[in-house]
Structure 1
Amino acid sequence: MCPGKRMNQSSPDVLHYKDKELASSLLVQLNLLRKDRILTDVVLCSEDTEVPCHRNVLVSSSPYFRAMFCSNFQESVQPRVVLKGVAPEVLSAVVDYVYTGAISITVELVLPLMQVSSMLQYGRLFEACSTFLQTQLGADNCLGMMRLGEVLHCTSLHQKACEVAACCFPAMAASDDFPGLSLAELTSVLGDDRLCAGEEQVFETMLAWIKHDPPARRSALHDLFRKLRLRHIHPTYLFQFVAGDPLVRSSPLCSELIEAVQRLLFSMGTAPRPDVIEDVWDSPRREACREALVLIGGRKNGRQTSREALLFNEGTQQWQKLAKLPVRLYRASYTCVERVLYVLGGLVSNASHTGTPTNGVYTLSLNTNQWRAAEPMLAPHYAHQSVSYLHFVFTLGGVATDGQLCGAVERYNTMFSQWEAMAPMPTPVLHPAVAAHDQRIYVFGGEDAEQIPVRMIQVYHMARNLWCKIETRMVKNISAPAAVIGDKIYIVGGYTRRTIAYDTKANRFVKCENMKDRRMHHSATAINNKLYVTGGRYINSREIIEDSDGFDCYDPESDAWSSKGKLPYRLYDHGAVSLIYVSSKSFTP
């Protein structure tokens, strides 16, 4: 058959063939030629070791050798080239790598190999050494690796070493290398958003570094102090321990920063913000500071009042048991300030199960997982509400010891452990939705002493200690929680499926997607800009009230509800708060 006549008219005119084995086969043959010294035209020398090579192979593999052999350098015509500073075993390993593409990197070989690959401009080999060193990183050597990365201009190693230093901060700060850090290195570490430590520990570590050599390092205090996220240090620690430290007191600039923070906190944030703390005050929490959902108290499985405290681990999607409340408290109130959970008032269970009103206050710190008794409220209350703002805790209304509905408001200063009476609510209500935002406390709805729904918003201005009332038909909630996301306050349920958001800036309500069930006596809190609703009681399809173990999430971005699974048990009239904790992130090489 003639080539011009096709058996199949769709056959291609050209066959594009690529021999996939040629490149590797060529390297194998070149390496065999090298070992037999066939056609080799240059010898690389190190001490008493001589390695014959082909110039064209070296030139093709490295810009360093291209410049050496393709320019007017004397090495371009010399039969022997001495590579100074290159150990014989490293030279042999590099040449083997050039001809085979394979090399064994060991702990003993990695550093000289990395230096030589940098000098000879073998970039992929250099990064392979960096990858190997990254697998060896730990708290005890990460600071040395940071310096090595800088010296060798190895960005990948330096960045990974910084990550390990941040993730393993407590152990790194206890290492032998830590006291020898330069000011620039320590400043870089303390300024890292990934630092796995609370600001209190950052402060103590900073002081330890300075006290290692006070005469030389005292002058660095102010620059280091500005790396502290002052807004996220508990005021008690800030003003008792930080402000009271002799080194801090000796620095006028540090004292000025603390005084500026103090003025802001005492003024509820209404005072003009001094320029001196602008960047310090606006610094966000470090990435390791996470929000965790904690459930506390309530009526468990429809029977006795619970002493349980549970923390939801977002990573494992599991509930973790915390220390139990010292006493059984029913219809207490719950709130938190940073990493401290507050349980206030309630009914102390007794043998007759009637309960005795208490003014007791208990706190739980996630750092110690231990409960302690705090300064009691001015008067016993139960079925009241609590919110926190900055370092203050407010309690509102509830039922007094005489069984009467009251509108009393008390404010607790966590900095000085002091309670004081504030202006009472204009209209005492039971079971309202309460939230604090932008120096104000919003009290939505609830019911009066006659169990009649109250259709109003009562707003308390913290700095002025004044109340105002807003009548509105949009509010008709009883036993519904509220939570703040951005400038909106979300009110969830309350004998209804309805979810609404009050826009505090626009002073208007926005309707949101309904819940699946009509729910009441549940709890809600905001974590990472999502709304988490737990437990409560719901009205089923047969109009019967049942206890709930539901665990649901509302996303304002998508205006959609999703299930997070189930609580470990049915629960209502409990607390759900968002606590800050420092996660111990694990480093992965």
Structure 2
Amino acid sequence: MSEDTSGLNPQQRRLLEGLYKFYRDGQLTDVTLDVEGQEYACNRNILAASSPFFRAMFTSDVKESKDDVVLIHEISKDAMESLLDYIYSGKICLTNENVQNVFSAANFLEMLEVVDLCIDHISGVVNLSNCLDVFFFAVYNYCEKLKLNCGNFILKKFPEIAETREFLSKIKVEDLMWFLSADDIYVDREEYIFEYILKWIDFDVETRSKLFPKLFKCLRLPLINEEYFAEKVASHEFVQESSFCRGLLTSFSLFKIQQAHSLEVDVDSPFANSTPRLGMYNRKLIVYSGGANSADERSFTAFDPISKKNYYGIKPHPSFDFKFRIDYFSLVTTENNNIYFIGGIFYENYHFSETGPAEKHVFLYDEKKSKWLSRKPMGMARCQFAACSYGNEIYVCGGKSSHPVGEPSDTVEVFDPEIDFWTVMKPMPMALYQHAICCHKKALFVFGGKDVVDEHVDNVFLFDIPTNSWCVIRSNLLKPRSEHMALAVRDKIYIIGGGSRHSNAVEVEIYDPATNRWKFGCDFGEERKIMAGCVYDDQIYITGGVRQFSRPNKPTRTVETKDFFRYNVDLNEWQKLVRFIQYANTQSCTVATLNIKFLHESDFISVGEGIEPDEN
């Protein structure tokens, strides 16, 4: 990182370059700085013009040096070299290794513009592993800007950072009050704030118990569950032992009575603060994606099956079906709630080109930035492949490297996000595409698909993850099919959608891995394939699909729908919930917990609840 000198006029640039050359050559200098035994020949006027510290030194009547040598004890020679380079050239090289030393040196010399450069650099590299070091570094150096930047990062990750021993032992009560009072603290319930206060005090109860009243003021009492409030908060010994806290509870009771009777209340009262914390905007949503506005972009949209609201982080291209379309990709959510977009085929203009090579790209969604981040590509470009997660790892298998021509593959790869690396695993027993996969316990199950001669198969394969080995399940699908999905709910696996050579499948097949037996579920109401499906709260949800639309005396058309169904696995029945999901894509969907504060809410609310499939 360096200061931009491109705006200098020729004379300014000539002057700066000339001074820097004199400094490097040791010419026309009049003072020497001694730093850790290393001497630097410099110019008093240049140093004084660049640093208030040197200005005060060289313009005072007090003799600060002997024989024009100034001893600097508070700065390392590496940091001094970086600052002198900046003073004479306007450029400075900041790295993760030197930035703290340069910051301390610039702070000492009162070179505020360099301090700001250091703050920007440090703020840009704050992560889970270093955020506490940075925060306490900022506190030690009284740097409010860096402290605020790092504090905002900690707020977003508060539960996983604040419960560490380092945070519990070192954080001061004033800083803790700032965290616990913030709107942007990422907790999903106010009860957690109370529980954390007790945890922090319990770490050093003898010293900290007297601080409880201060921290108690940070609670937003209107957000606390009434039953929890009565059983855990109001009756707690710390509350009962404090006259201040008891007084707050009395005031809060009066506040609630005034609210209940619609009386005028003091909006500035601490009890009137019912603003939810940032984490309280988390929702479990169904996520869709596809093309956006260029070959490198992917859309990001979501649907709430409870509120029927539609959201977007990155809008699809307005044409949806033609411009910048992506087909045959997979969306996968890992155990730690990371969402990945994998593979597929990109079409510049789908209307004119329905063939193309597959992609090996992998993207991770950053919800706070509303952006897909590029990750290590797969070893093989894939479309019409199968993908699923096991813990935080992602497994992909089979598929083609181009569509519609191209040979199917039997290769298997696993992605480790910790090291951003794909590893080749033992191949499947046969090459497949348009097959389905799901994870059950410590095994992956692969169902059906098409083989190398484009025949539909009814095979079932099991991949044992701990031993990296495949075996053939001696119990096939009840009907061969491709372009279907396999979804695990509790201890069963449900096969839905897809089709065979002659018809799309309406049958739901249910597999029990424990008994190795199959049975039929309730048929879907229409013949469809290429549906997007997911499991949400132990129920199966299906979005749209491709179906044949017949009209009297007119050619049959292939239609892609965006309606929404639920398969109740307990009642073994289908129900149509909405007619149309605004931003849906029938290729793939996944379930993830997202914060709607980082999404845009559409004005369009999907409707149609309670309509049965056969009524459409």
Structure with max Cα Rg: 1
With normalisation by structure 2, the TM-score equals 0.47
With normalisation by structure 1, the TM-score equals 0.49
